[in-house]
Every structure is written in C-alpha cells, then in structure tokens.
C-alpha cells in the first residue's frame, strides 16, 4: 500500500511539474474579449513574457515585454511564483526518488527514507501553492478589469494557460498529500532498529552464579 501511494504521488508531482512548463510556454494567459464587438479585426493575447496580436487573415506578431520594471506588480509576482514552483518541484522530485521505499538510493534505512519522502511531499505542496497563487492572482486582475466599467484599456478574458496552471497546481497538491499520507503508513517489512538486549538465558546463569557466591551466615551444623 505504501509503495503504491509513493508511486502515485511521484506521478502526480511529475505531471504537475511538467504542466508548469506547458503553462509558461502557452501564449494565451489572457485574450482580448469580443463582448460588445460586432466586427473583430484583431485579437490580442498575452502571457507572462510577451504580447501577441493576430488579425482576421491569421497573421500574428509577438513581442517581448520591453522592461521588467515597467510591468504591473502582479505580473512580476506571478513570474517569481512560477519560477519558485519549478524549483520546489525539482527538489520534490529528487527527494521523492531518494525517499521511495522501492528505490535503492540511500540504502535500506527506511526511517530516514521516509523522512526524506515527507520532505519531498512538502516541496510538492509548496509547488502547488505557488502555482495556484500565481495563476489565481493573474486571473483576479483580468476579472477585475473586465467588470470595471471605467477601465479605459483593453479588456481580456481568461485564457487556456491559466487553466493549465490550475490543473498543475491541483496535481502537485494531490501528489504532496499522497506522499505525506504514505509516510504515515507502516508496513510489517520495514526494518526498524531495536536496542540490543541480552538473552534470558544469560540472566538465568548470572542469577545462579550470584546465588552461589553469596556467603551464608549459617554453618552446616544449623541444618542438622
């Protein structure tokens, strides 16, 4: 049971880690809305790194954001959180591979391996939390601007990149939870060191020897 939970946790964490890269590469984090427009000549879509525009003929043009400091604060924070999620996910994968019971890395000290696996589960949880905060914060700004009647700029809708990010966060959190639950499951095959205790035979012998060496206060004549 424990090995199955560890394998499931590793699969979920790895899938979530891969989907972070897919989400970052996706250009549709937000897409200009067609609400209230009769004729749409161009579509604008952005992610954390660039802004793109395409016309009705299918020709599109993309440009990177020219300045980091000129970006809104939520975009800078989302970038930092997504990069932190990648780092946490990498540490989580390494710790999980070392701490898995079926892995030969780290020897057969299952108590130590279980603690390392638990650390991997914590890293997966941090990965999921960072990803969830980044995509939710980005989506909250899109929603706020969309429903603000006095917002002068272009209004956008939530793109597919955010949905991929939410799926990645969910997988990572589920993987970390499974791994922490697996660390609490005890199996009868685990090798737990016990302190050395002498055999009962030695106690019997020592008791007999001590009883023979204790001097008696009575002589042999007292039993006649």
| pLDDT tens digits, one per residue of 128-148 | 999 999 999 999 999 998 888
Q: Is 107 helix (H, G, I), strand (E, B) or coil?
A: coil
Q: Any idea of the CA torsion for 83, 89, 95, 101, to the nearest 10 degrees?
A: 180
Only one residue has tokens 């939530």, namely: 158
Per the rule left: phi > 0, alpha: psi between -120 and 50, beta: everything else, 39 is beta
The whole-number pLDDT of residue 170 equals 95
**Token duo for residue 69:** 């400091």
CB neighbour list of residue 57: distance below 8 Å, 6 or more residues apart: none
**Token duo for residue 108:** 């057969």
What values do phi and psi take at 108, rounded to 5?
-115, 20
Each residue's pLDDT expressed in tens, for the chain with a length of 224 residues: 677 888 888 899 999 999 999 999 988 899 887 665 545 567 888 889 988 888 777 777 888 888 888 888 899 999 999 999 999 999 999 998 888 776 666 566 667 777 888 899 999 999 999 999 999 999 999 999 888 888 887 888 898 999 999 999 999 999 999 888 877 665 545 444 444 455 544 444 444 444 444 444 545 444 44
Element (H or E) spanning 52, and its range? strand 50-55
Contact in structure between 174 and 124 (CB atoms under 8 Å): no
Whose CA is closest to 44, among 159, 129, 165?
159
Q: Is 163 helix (H, G, I), strand (E, B) or coil?
A: helix
**Token duo for residue 11:** 């699969």
Q: Which domains does the chain have, with CATH numbers?
A: 1-27+72-185 (1.20.140.150)
User: Which pTM was predicted?
Assistant: 0.75
CA distance linking residue 129 with residue 145, whole number of Å: 24
Buried/exposed code over 6-16 (b: 16+ C-beta within 10 A; e: otherwise)? beebbebbbeb
The whole-number pLDDT of residue 17 equals 94
CB atoms within 10 A of CB 173: 21
């Amino acid at each position: 049971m424990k090995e199955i939970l560890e394998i499931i946790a590793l699969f979920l964490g790895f899938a979530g880690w891969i989907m972070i890269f897919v989400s970052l590469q996706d250009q549709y984090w937000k897409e200009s809305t067609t609400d209230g427009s009769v004729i749409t000549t161009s579509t604008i879509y952005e992610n954390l790194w660039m802004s793109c525009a395409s016309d009705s003929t299918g020709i599109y043009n993309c440009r990177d954001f020219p300045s980091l400091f000129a970006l809104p604060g939520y975009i800078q924070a989302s970038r930092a959180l997504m990069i932190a999620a990648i780092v946490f996910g990498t540490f989580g994968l390494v710790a999980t591979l070392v701490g898995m019971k079926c892995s030969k890395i780290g020897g057969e000290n299952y108590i130590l391996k279980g603690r390392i696996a638990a650390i991997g589960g914590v890293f997966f949880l941090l990965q999921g939390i960072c990803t969830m905060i980044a995509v939710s914060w980005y989506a909250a700004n899109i929603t706020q601007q969309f429903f603000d009647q006095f917002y002068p700029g272009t209004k956008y809708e939530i793109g597919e990149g955010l949905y991929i990010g939410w799926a990645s966060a969910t997988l990572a959190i589920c993987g970390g939870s499974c791994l922490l639950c697996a660390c609490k499951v005890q199996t009868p095959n685990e090798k737990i060191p016990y302190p050395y205790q002498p055999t009962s035979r030695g106690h019997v012998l020592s008791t007999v020897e001590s009883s023979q060496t204790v001097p008696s206060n009575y002589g042999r004549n007292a039993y006649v």
